[in-house]
Amino acid sequence: MAKRSTKFVCQECGYETAKWMGKCPGCQNWNTFVEEVQMTGAKSRHAFAGVPKYSSKPEKISAIKSEKEPRVTTTMKEFNRVLGGGIVPGSLVLIGGDPGIGKSTLLLQVSSQLAQKELSVLYISGEESTRQTKLRADRLGIASDNLYVLSETNLLDIANQIEALQPSFVVIDSIQTIYREEVTSAPGSVSQVRECTGELMRIAKTNAIPIFIVGHVTKEGAIAGPRMLEHMVDAVLYFEGERHHTYRILRSVKNRFGSTNEMGIFEMKEEGLREVLNPSEIFLEERSQGAAGSTVVASMEGTRPVLVEIQALISPTSFGNPRRMATGVDNNRIPLLMAVLEKRVGLLLQNQDAYIKVAGGVKLDEPAIDLAIAVSIASSFRNMPTNPEDIFIGEVGLTGEVRRVSRIEQRVREAAKLGFKRVVCPRKNLEGWTIPESIEIIGVDSVQEALAAGLGR
């Protein structure tokens, strides 16, 4: 006989305790514990009763044959890039994003493209009825006999339908609406999300069916549910972008079958999402010519170089403490670079407000953008525009030196392809590669040399 007991589970990190606590010892959040009923002593029931149990034995790593994983590609090159070249059979992929950002639209378009390749696709929606999904499909112009739609939230029924249909591809929208009968807590709780994801992972691995699951996000932008959810899946994708802008960014933060931090750009149209094959042109098309405080940097997003404009506005402060605000870059990086400019270059910035923005809504976090930010700040402070055909690349140290960056060759080639004439980069990066004939490379060792090359002083 199964025994009934209660426990309190933190809805943020999954910490369990026998009694209620106001503050979670695991994640330090307040009022996150919810009482859940636990059944102990009951036999676990698998959705696939006929799946045999395999016993594995240790093997010598030298005797294991390494084979390249076959991938299924879609017609969206950006989607394939983020996944590392395509969809791996048996993989479990988690996609998170703000409500209304376009997660369901993206996966419905991907399902349609796979169905057009004569692959059976099962789209399971726990939030919408089949008629609502059909309305979205009509708006996107999707109609295929290989695309099946199911509105269901019971995991046992979902598993039985997958076993009966044996699809080549499955979409779960969303994991927070799916529940398992053996777990008595409410759908979306830590226990339900953990158990349902574990069962879906078993289905994906034992049947070699790639499964995409949609996850809700919290107010902070992280995927809701326990942190272990991201550890269980093979890949974690974030669908980002402002709801009032048309551009969307699909970013990979975890991928067992490809590189992380890959980025795909999409544009939201009335007929659905359209991929942007050259994002650098999109980010630079509205750049002002001859404006002080504007520079261009070649940033690496995974394996792709992207040219982005960085804008700075320096103005005298009217408060006791000057303001330091940044959009698209780390806020802590701005005071650090301003301190370097003040100490090593001699710019009096302690009584100036600083506002930094990355145009286009992109978020940059690599060290190679330091030099472009520093030049933008100095350009706005001196009210001297930079040359619109210059690009600045480099990491800035606390002593004012410009340090080498990775993949300088790809960055310079992207700049030359878009018509830029000069690249200001670390001098240490000038060795070991061939410089394109259409572009001039200026190597610098310090911020002073970079400002002299970019601002003419």
* Binding-site residues: 97-104
Do the Cβ atoms of 171 and 215 come closer than 8 Å? Answer: no
**Helix, strand or coil for residue 222?**
coil
Give CA–CA dist 425/443, Å, rounded.
Answer: 5
> Are 226 and 194 spatial neighbours (Cβ–Cβ below 8 Å)?
yes
> Closest Cα to residue 44, out of 236, 157, 181?
181
How far is the C-alpha of 281 from the C-alpha of 269, rounded, in Å?
A: 18
Contacts of 368 (CB under 8 A, 6+ apart): 297, 298, 299, 300, 393, 394, 395, 405, 406, 411
Q: In what side-by-side order are the strands of the sheet with 92-97?
A: 147-151, 121-125, 169-173, 211-215, 92-97, 235-240, 247-255, 263-269, 272-275
Does an H or E element contain 38, and which? Answer: strand 33-40
Q: Quote the CA–CA distance of 205 and 175 in Å, as a whole number.
A: 18
Q: What is the DSSP string of 41-92?
A: SPPP--S-TTPPPP------TTTSPP-PPP-B--S-HHHHHHTTSSBPTT-E
DSSP summary character for residue 210: -
Closest CA to 39 of 7, 10, 12: 7
Binding-site members for ATP are: 97-104
